[in-house]
Chains A and B, each alone.
Chain A
Amino acid sequence: GESGYAQNGDFDDAELDDYPFSCYSQLEVDGSQHLLSCTFDDPDVNSTNLEFEICGALLDVKCLTFNKMQEMYFIRTKKFLLIGDSEICAKLKGKKITCRKMNVVKIVKPEAPFDIRVIYREGANDFLVTFNTSHLQKKYVKELLHEVAYRQEKHENDWMHVNLSSTKLALLQRKLQPDAMYEIKIRSIPNHDYFEGFWSEWSPSFHFRTPEITGRMDP
């Protein structure tokens, strides 16, 4: 489980709580290299002298120090054991000020789907939606749940949602408005009991127009 606790007593409780942070992992994001990213929950935290460190459940080493880019702290490594909990700590001038126990396989944020295509199939009276995901080629996080969201462009918040585990879906013409402009986007989340985590970013949106009402409906 995830629990935050202070590591040493130099700071009083009030100060310790000022540095809550969140992390996510992306496995095999670059070949067999993984990525772990952490940010402070409060964007206004002055992070000048603040560092992050991860210890435990690592191969060959006891701890690793994060790199920093603007407000994002990150590590690119192959050294995740992928078994058991690690301890991730925010440190101020070398002193641990906030620590959280995290398991890298339970905070996985998949890469966003891409290459959305929509094909109108007149005979089938449907729109065949296909897309791609880099996770099909991975060794570890292979099983994802995808959420397809689509809306008529002029109806701002009227999103319809379909969840599926494959990368192909048929939207039925009879469930859409004729001669209308639609937007569609997709995101993914781990769909497994070992690798768990968060929704990916949304894919780039794809826009398509439904044809006007023409011939009769095929049986």
Chain B
Amino acid sequence: YNFTDCDFEKIRKKYQEVIYQALNKYMNGVKSTEFNNYIYCEDPPDCLAKIDLITFYPTHGCTTLAKEIFAVRTNATLTLQCPGYSGTQINNTQAKKKRKKRQVTTNKCLEQVSHLMELWRRFSRIS
């Protein structure tokens, strides 16, 4: 999906008002600068593409982000503000069960979410 036609201003507003709080809550005090690698995005569409990738596509060591509150809000935001974005169909009951079963947030997931925070921050600075 090409994020060029999204309404960046409305996405930024939703990020600042409700997604950021959920990301912060997930990190639970762990600072994103504590992870020694970084992630770059050039412009708003590039940032959103990388946010979409990390949020909704499982990686080795971290497969559960898509069900987190920040991800559900990201999904709702992109579905609302990006024409033609189909969004991830999260099975609600499965989401609740999965979130209950997740005991410990893996360090790999914390690293992934710290990347997400860097991408969202960059996105909000340039849009």
Contacts and interface: CB of A to CB of B under 8 A. Distances in A.
A and B in direct contact, judged by CB atoms within 8 A: yes
A-side interface mostly: loop
A189 interface: no
B-side interface mostly: helix
Nearest to A82: B18
Interface in A75-109: 81-84, 105
A59 B72 contact: yes
B62 interface: no
A57 B92 contact: no
Contacts of A81: 72-73, 76
B96 A194 contact: no
A60 B76 contact: no
Interface string B4-26: 00000000011011100100000
B21 A84 contact: no
A61 B92 contact: yes
A77 B13 CA distance: 24
Nearest to B97: A60
Contacts of A62: 92
Contacts of B69: 59
Interface centre among B16, B17, B21, B69 (most CB of A within 10 A): B17
Given A59-B69, A60-B92, A84 B17 contact: no
A140 B18 contact: yes
A57 B76 CA distance: 8
Interface of B: 13-14, 16-18, 21, 69, 72-73, 76-77, 80, 92-93, 95-96, 99
8 contacts: A60-B96, A60-B99, A81-B73, A83-B76, A105-B18, A139-B21, A193-B13, A194-B18
